[in-house]
Amino acid sequence: MKRWTVLLLTLTLLAVGCARREVTFVTIGTGGVTGVYYPTGGAISRMINLKYDEYKIKATVESTSGSVFNINGVVSGDLEFGVAQSDRQYQAYNGLAEWSESGGKKNLRSVFAIHPESITLVAAEESGIETIADLRGKRVNLGNPGSGQLQNSRDVLKAAGITEDDISAEYVKAIEAPGLLQDERIDAFFYTVGHPNGNIKEATSGRIKVRIIDLTGAGIDEMVDELPYYARSTIPVEFYPRAANQENIETVGVKATFVTSMNVPENVVYAITREVFEHLEEFKELHPAYQVLTKENMLQGLSAPIHPGALRYYREAGLMAPE
């Protein structure tokens, strides 16, 4: 009798162990908690966790410093998924910018694109900054190391013929910049983000009156023509009624994208892709920046190869031609 009891207990423990081994844990790298990346990752994780019984996937979200951190985390295996700007995806895969000495992160894979992100330049009215050329000699936050916006700021400055030596540059996180501006410790800051955004609302609602600067004209137009991941974008003035602007702001932007590694199993990427696309209308209700999303434009702006798991769903859904 004891022998049968021990055998039964052993089989039970083996069964429990096997069941536990079936669970896949994934972590999604996002950004600051006040930006769009963090709720994006949160929404995706909730979607997949609600289907735990079907997929046996447990997803968690990590607040990170942004695109560069997320891409490096994904390709190293520290993260399974990450949100990253389309330009950073392009640079990482092709061995440019921070990845110029690595030969490119060839195990990086695209899953889908998300919302458009505009390069946003916010300046104190009293600083006299009305165009990007007026940044010379001013105190300007360009973005923290490891963020996509730092490279965007540098690209825009370069296009306008301005170097970092021409300004007094700061390199703090976007979440800190509105407070610095309102405390008169900086004159302006860059932020690459989807709109409307809480940090920009904070910056436009304080004691110091601010203006969002158009990024147009010579140099900027050539940058858009030269770099395939940039495109023209417009920030509706009604999003920020307390800013000094009277008209929509014309600027340039990139796209937020969802990335992974070629080492993440196909069934995991398929499940997450399927849940987002099959519940797209619910997903779009989570943030005003998502309202422009369609299944078709979520396949645009992907500059690394698409992961086989995502491809499988796109072909099943008729969004891509079968092999």
DSSP secondary structure, 65-94, as one string: S-HHHHHHHHHHTS-SEEEEEHHHHHHHHH
Residue 245 reports pLDDT greater than 60: yes
- Averaged pLDDT for residues 65-80: 95
pLDDT value of residue 203: 95
Same fold, 2-115+255-316 and 117-254: yes
- Averaged pLDDT for residues 107-126: 95
pLDDT value of residue 250: 94
Domain boundaries along the sequence of the chain: 2-115+255-316, 117-254
- Averaged pLDDT for residues 20-30: 87
- Taking the CA atoms of residue 75, residue 79, residue 84 and residue 87 in that order, the dihedral angle to the nearest 10 degrees is -10
Residue 282 reports pLDDT greater than 60: yes
CA distance 181 to 202: 10
Which of the pair, 3 or 169, is modelled with greater confidence? Answer: 169
Residue 118: name the closest of 246, 283, 244, 292 by CA.
292
Q: How confident is the model at residue 12 (pLDDT cuts 50, 70, 90)?
A: low
Q: How confident is the model at residue 299 (pLDDT cuts 50, 70, 90)?
A: very high
Least confident of 265-269, 285-289, 306-310: 285-289
Strand partners, 116: 255
Q: How confident is the model at residue 7 (pLDDT cuts 50, 70, 90)?
A: very low
Contact status, residue 145 vs residue 174, Cβ threshold 8 Å = no
pLDDT value of residue 21: 52
The residues, ordered by sequence, that sit 6+ positions from 8 with a Cβ below 8 Å of its Cβ are none
What is the domain class of 117-254 according to CATH?
alpha beta
pLDDT digits (tens, 9 = 90+) for 144-202: 987 878 999 999 999 999 999 999 999 999 889 999 999 999 999 999 988 888 889 99
* Burial (CB count within 10 angstroms: exposed 0-12, middle 13-18, buried 19+), residue 255: buried
Q: Is 211 left (phi over 0), alpha (psi -120 to 50) or beta?
A: beta
Residue 95 reports pLDDT greater than 50: yes
Contact status, residue 137 vs residue 83, Cβ threshold 8 Å = no
Contact status, residue 183 vs residue 155, Cβ threshold 8 Å = no
Which of the pair, 186 or 232, is modelled with greater confidence? Answer: 186
Q: Which fold has domain 2-115+255-316?
A: D-Maltodextrin-Binding Protein; domain 2 (3.40.190)
Q: Where are the beta strands (DSSP E) in 162-214?
A: 168-170, 188-193, 210-213
